[in-house]
Chains A and B, each alone.
Chain A
């Protein structure tokens, strides 16, 4: 049988009997233990997880690796000897190429 407060979805009246019965049916009890559990979970939630920690260190690692690569590049550039300058016209005429010296020696030995 329908009650007055169930006859219309526009009713604001609450069903006290149903409320009490439902509350008892759903109540899990021992809320103190549950609260303690939530607070314990709070502590572990505050500690960073391994993947969070890993990603944090990964960022630091990538930055450090970049610094090392750049520093290494700069150091190698500064340590490299200057490229040999091309001979002047005079040097090229006075000093014959090595191949020419071999040809002259071979001719004299015949």
Chain B
């Protein structure tokens, strides 16, 4: 795992904000401490929502899946091994919840959006540019197979290692590595094309 891996940092040192480790919070949450569970949710909500959205596309479905995952994690906290990082354990539950939701409800896909680029002579403001880039990336992401979407987000956005992604997605490490590689190449092409637009 890379030295600057944020996941390693957040799991091997007292977690950000409160100085309490994830394992300690998980232990308290398993004992019925609602505040401890709330802190875990606060810490991992952004990550869980992004991963669920990468898999499902639709933000509402993604939030539903992320919520299901947190509640499921609470029930399963007894099974969590506190000597191991909490993030990958939780992300596996998130990925499963998102995949289950997709299968169960045949979730409506986010409409694949055609990458839109600035047209005419007007220079859009920075906010509009960011929105357009976001739409272009989401559209490119939606064209990828589900597992590749999750893999690239887990690697490049959330900072997990290939080995951790393999465990989260339940695939061999080589498959995770390949998924990240191909997904990243497709997204990088979108990003480059967007940047090269006049």
A residues within 8 Å of B by Cβ? 1-3, 6, 8-10, 12-15, 17-19, 21-28, 31, 34-35, 37-39, 41-42, 45
Contact = CB atoms under 8 A, between A and B. Distances in A.
B63 A35 contact: no
Nearest to A11: B181
Is chain A's interface secondary structure helix, strand, loop, or mixed overall? helix
For the side of the interface on B, what is the size category? 35 or more
A18 B42 contact: no
5 contacts: A12-B162, A23-B50, A26-B157, A35-B42, A38-B70
Given A22-B152, A41-B71, A45-B71, A31 B184 contact: no
Contact of A42 (B46, B71, B188): B71
B106 to A, nearest CB: 22
B191 A34 contact: no
Nearest to B75: A45
B187 A38 contact: no
A34 B153 contact: no
B41 A35 contact: yes
A28 B59 contact: yes
Interface string B16-52: 0000000000000000001001100110011001100
B49 A31 contact: yes
B83 interface: no
Contacts of A19: 156-157
B66 to A, nearest CB: 7
Interface centre among B37, B49, B135, B155 (most CB of A within 10 A): B49
B184 A6 contact: yes
Given A6-B181, A6-B184, A9-B180, A28 B63 contact: yes
